[in-house]
Structure 1
């Protein structure tokens, strides 16, 4: 996923939109966004991370309901509990509002995955639906937090909770959710949680820094060892395919396979970390068995033309480069390799190639 573009009020990228600088969003804009969404999806579920967003949330719900679609409204809930609720509320689309200085709106499909670029572009370019003769219903529900917590606890009934691990997170609600499962007793394992609980790295006193990708691959290796086929996104580090695991790849831009949807860890980092922490020695052993995952990311300014390779994954000797649009005149380069030196070289080479291409409008 990547930068999509802007309309009069929002910038769209990576499964979410956020308000443009110096743009005030009020009731009218919220209702309009709701009507645009109702022109694309059926039943929707809306949530927010605090009561300060209630006015926007209710206005957007009104826009959806006025267009004849039903809404499930959940105030003051954490993002992970909200995502978990989407299937239970039969929502086709989940919309989660957060942010303090800048309003940030996440969009999810019915399975809790962020909407892909093409779906997000439909919202960005969409037109508001007309008012319907029969209005939709707005059903207010309480947070699914307790049900979500219970669902994870039921997955690890043979282990006493909480597990021994620390949690570092700036979001108090998210941190308290994680602390239902973890209690810091030492520095052997600390989870560093960010982005409303959607991303997690870890630090171990024995293994050092463990990236989000390494956690995913460590869990994948444990699933593979148990005989399962593991589905991973196509942009996850290619070293996964060299690790001897039973790996299949999929793209978020296409239909996500049912087998991938059923793998809860792909959309639920807390669930994954709880499962990994049930046996820390197995976790650390799996991390040590992984190949080195080196990656270098860089943003560059370019002049776009028809030959610019945007939203591409290109194989390179010893690695690969992932090129995505990150702004109006910006590209994000992510090089992946099995050594930091190779990743740096690939990123540097492609920075030069794309800069020249943007200036000269010539082939690479």
Structure 2
């Protein structure tokens, strides 16, 4: 997350970004500017506004906080995985527009440009990352029980898309975008009054806004939390493109298959998934002296393994024995 004090510096901050910003350094910078008497407008998600207020521990008359109507956010690693898949296929990325209006506001596109000259432009309804985002299934856990929406963050204003404008205010719908502004404080009202000449403004009820915009709702369906830990690649990245790059014979190096039931099931599930994708694999493990509970009977029956005599003999596995390796577990 960045700050801007000129129109030129503001330019990179414009346009929607469906990735949660890292605000760690902005709280201190904001406090320093406020202490110098500078007029500061801080924009962020409701939880980020609440965090800033908690950090400052006092009110400032020269601070205006604007929260973005929040749908929720996904873990940053999902975005990173998606980008890595694209760059593996097309090369370095030079520009990303997550709300491209090339086909109009009602059919916004995700447009990504590459150094090679390749341009990938997909409707938000078909783009893998946006489909995952809009499904609610992969939001961070805190989003399902968020307590900071609808003014609870301490923001002065809330801004967001006025979805449904074509129904509620058809004469305002030009397919270029229409926003709503909710006023939460006197400071927010005063700020908006200074900008009245810059906008075409009509009053509308919260009910009309919430009818078509799920973002302001108090809570997202908690039943979807259970879906968070599902494999995400089918929706976040095109699995076909990922598997094209996978080698044919894989060696799996994970937690040694001893009498840990969780470790055994993890190895089984990984190997089963790889097999379903068309790849042969061995779980590389070593024998133990005894197995009083018989867990390794499951290993012998259901998991294809390559055994070495003990942990020191992993170096006997030659790179040429496999086309590639899958490595995982914090303990290795």
Q: Same fold (TM over 0.5)?
A: no
What band does the TM-score fall into relative to the shorter chain? Answer: under 0.3
TM-score, scaled relative to structure 1: 0.23
Greater Rg over alpha carbons, structure: 2
Higher normalized strand content (fraction of residues) = 1
